[in-house]
């Protein structure tokens, strides 16, 4: 079980792709005819941190090799990028990824801009650097704030992340949760737990802490230890203690109630908890645009900083994106070469499967779609 049946309409359920039919059909049409216009992406993944900087060094970070190595775009260019993407029609923004987004000085200003356009924003953060002003803005503007804690105590946190900031993170999560409740905000605060060889025995304890903090969600999934960004910490051949992890997941679900939801994501993994790819090639790349702090744009959120997947740059003007979005290289990476060079967990694996089974093989009509 990944979630309680009353929580099935949630962010972590990939069946939300039922809303993406317009984009799915556009992608299939683009596949058949590369000359047609590709729609703007639904979401922008923005690596907000200047220089790809982060104040922690998590052993399992899938950007481990690239942290603190990217040139920094100015705060003004960061703002201009969002302004362009909003004008273009992007629906939602995730501020996170490579580095720690709360290091960006004008992050709050950008969140307010996104809200002004009635679009949605989110922050994926380690939770260590929030100040009161950013907390206030974020809980007013964001649809969700995911805090990657990945531990249940200070010792594990320091051992695996490099600094003794566990108590500070816990305190910040508590403040965020209280603010969200006080405002009756639609901002979900999530205690996130990426399961690794160093912390998996603490899953249930972490879930109990999350509930005590008053967060809306506890979210856990296993890390892809073969991801190319892990650098010297790559553990492609590591085998998870599958049954023990599943038992701990099951215990977490016993804590669920009307105010606290538990999500233990496994549907993108095989029974051995290794990444699952049940599709022939990539289809879903164009649902998202990946923008990095050096100005580069990549075709795939899971392949950021890989030169092979680089589409171009949004510098000196973000409108440069229109010169390569839906272009020849983008088409080739999506439908021909990208899948061959990819070996990591796929964020969009389920979406690729849906497009393949329901839109590419539409004549088979596996779901008898016109029967109610």
Helix (H, G, I), strand (E, B) or coil at 87: helix
Based on the structure, what is the number of domains in the chain? Answer: 1
Residue 43 lies in a domain: yes
Q: 């289809």: which residue's tokens?
A: 283
Residue 246 lies in a domain: yes
Distance from C-alpha of 8 to C-alpha of 13, rounded to nearest angstrom: 7
| pLDDT, position 51 | 81
Residue 212 lies in a domain: yes
pTM comes to 0.94
Distance from C-alpha of 129 to C-alpha of 312, rounded to nearest angstrom: 31
Give the residue from 286, 288, 304, 283 showing the smallest Cα distance to 92. 288
CB of 259 within 8 A of CB of 232? no
Partnered with residue 250 across adjacent β-strands are: none
Angle at 248 between CA 244 and CA 250, to 5 degrees: 115
Helix (H, G, I), strand (E, B) or coil at 278: coil
CATH code where residue 223 lies: 3.20.20.70
Residue 31 lies in a domain: yes
3-state SS, 315-336, equals CCCHHHHHHCCCCHHHHHHHHH
245: containing domain: 5-264
CB of 270 within 8 A of CB of 351? no
pLDDT for 25-62, tens place per residue?
999 999 999 999 999 999 999 998 888 889 998 988 87
Distance from C-alpha of 290 to C-alpha of 230, rounded to nearest angstrom: 19
Residue 198 lies in a domain: yes
Residue 372 lies in a domain: no
| pLDDT, position 233 | 60
Residue 142 lies in a domain: yes
Distance from C-alpha of 332 to C-alpha of 365, rounded to nearest angstrom: 27
| pLDDT, position 113 | 98
Residues in the chain with pLDDT values less than 50:
none
Distance from C-alpha of 107 to C-alpha of 48, rounded to nearest angstrom: 8
| pLDDT, position 236 | 67
Q: How many CA atoms lie within 13 A of 274 on its CB side?
A: 9
DSSP annotation of 351 reads H
Residue 227 lies in a domain: yes
Query: And the tokens for 41?
Result: 């992406």
| pLDDT, position 225 | 82
Distance from C-alpha of 319 to C-alpha of 310, rounded to nearest angstrom: 16
Partnered with residue 144 across adjacent β-strands are: 122, 188
| pLDDT, position 278 | 85
Give the residue from 140, 105, 113 showing the smallest Cα distance to 44. 113
Q: Which residues contact 20 (CB under 8 A, 6 or more apart)?
A: 42, 287, 351
DSSP annotation of 216 reads S
Give the residue from 274, 314, 271 showing the smallest Cα distance to 295. 314
| pLDDT, position 322 | 98
Decide the pairing of beta strands 288-291 and 261-264.
unpaired
| pLDDT, position 166 | 98
The C-alpha R_g of the chain, in whole angstroms, comes to 20
Distance from C-alpha of 217 to C-alpha of 14, rounded to nearest angstrom: 17
Query: And the tokens for 164?
Result: 């003794």
Distance from C-alpha of 59 to C-alpha of 57, rounded to nearest angstrom: 6
């Amino acid at each position: 079980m990944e979630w309680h049946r009353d929580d099935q309409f949630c962010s972590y359920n990939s069946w939300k792709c039922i809303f993406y039919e317009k984009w799915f059909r556009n992608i299939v049409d683009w596949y058949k005819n590369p000359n047609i216009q590709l729609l703007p992406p639904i979401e922008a993944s923005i690596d907000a941190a200047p220089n790809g900087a982060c104040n922690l060094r998590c052993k399992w970070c899938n950007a481990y090799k690239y942290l603190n190595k990217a040139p920094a775009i100015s705060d003004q260019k960061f703002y201009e990028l969002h302004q362009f993407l909003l004008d273009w029609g992007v629906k939602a923004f995730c501020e996170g990824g490579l580095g720690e987004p709360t290091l960006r000085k004008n992050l709050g200003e950008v969140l307010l801009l996104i809200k002004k356009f009635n679009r949605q924003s989110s922050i994926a953060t380690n939770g260590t650097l929030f100040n009161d002003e950013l907390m206030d803005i974020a809980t007013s503007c964001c649809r969700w704030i995911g805090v990657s804690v990945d531990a249940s105590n200070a010792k594990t946190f320091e051992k695996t992340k490099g600094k003794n900031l566990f108590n500070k993170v816990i305190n910040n999560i508590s403040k965020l949760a209280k603010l969200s409740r006080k405002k009756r905000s639609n901002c979900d605060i999530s205690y996130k737990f990426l399961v690794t060889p160093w912390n998996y025995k603490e899953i249930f304890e972490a879930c109990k802490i999350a509930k005590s903090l008053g967060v809306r969600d506890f979210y856990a999934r296993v890390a892809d230890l073969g991801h190319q960004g892990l650098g010297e910490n790559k553990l492609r051949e590591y085998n998870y203690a599958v049954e023990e992890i599943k038992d701990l997941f099951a215990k977490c679900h016993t804590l669920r109630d009307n105010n606290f939801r538990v999500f233990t994501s496994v549907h993108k993994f095989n029974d051995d908890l290794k990444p699952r790819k049940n599709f022939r090639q990539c289809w879903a790349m164009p649902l998202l645009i990946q923008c990095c702090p050096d100005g580069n744009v990549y075709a795939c959120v899971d392949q950021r900083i890989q030169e092979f997947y680089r589409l171009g740059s949004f510098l000196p003007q973000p409108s440069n994106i229109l010169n390569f979005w839906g272009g020849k290289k983008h088409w080739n990476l999506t439908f021909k070469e990208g899948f061959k060079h990819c070996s990591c967990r796929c964020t969009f694996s389920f979406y690729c499967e849906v497009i393949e089974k329901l839109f590419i093989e539409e004549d088979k009509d596996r779901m008898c779609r016109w029967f109610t």
